[in-house]
Amino acid sequence: MVNPNKPFLEDAPYLIVIFKHIYQFDENGERTKVYFPETSIGIATGMLISVLTDLGLNTLTYTPAPSAFLSDMLKRPSNEKPYMILVVGKGSKNYKLPDITKKETKDIIKIY
């Protein structure tokens, strides 16, 4: 259910706000292109999640919309755009995973 209540943001011991460079500056202060920012930030975030998981921590990805307030709140430069908030900590022992069923392979893949 989507609602404005996000207690995990207050309960988690760590919130890592991940930003991506949408452009950068060269040594002369000129604006230059960043190549493959989506791919790079996705790979880097995946590696971070993997390391945190190996350390025994739980993670939750959260992408607030709109997210521009994060740039203002954290005083980030104009060439950085919020990508996501990574919520990190130990999960609640009281949380129960939802009972989600998967479709059968035959219902997904059709061979003609």
Task: Show the beta-strand stretches assigned E in 22-97.
Answer: 23-25, 31-33, 58-62, 80-89
Torsion angles phi and psi, residue 104, rounded to 5: -70, 150
Q: What is the pLDDT of residues 14-73, one digit of tens each?
A: 999 999 999 999 999 899 998 999 999 999 999 999 999 999 999 999 998 889 899 999
CATH fold of 8-93: NADH Oxidase (3.40.109)
Domain ranges of the chain: 8-93
Q: Which pTM was predicted?
A: 0.77
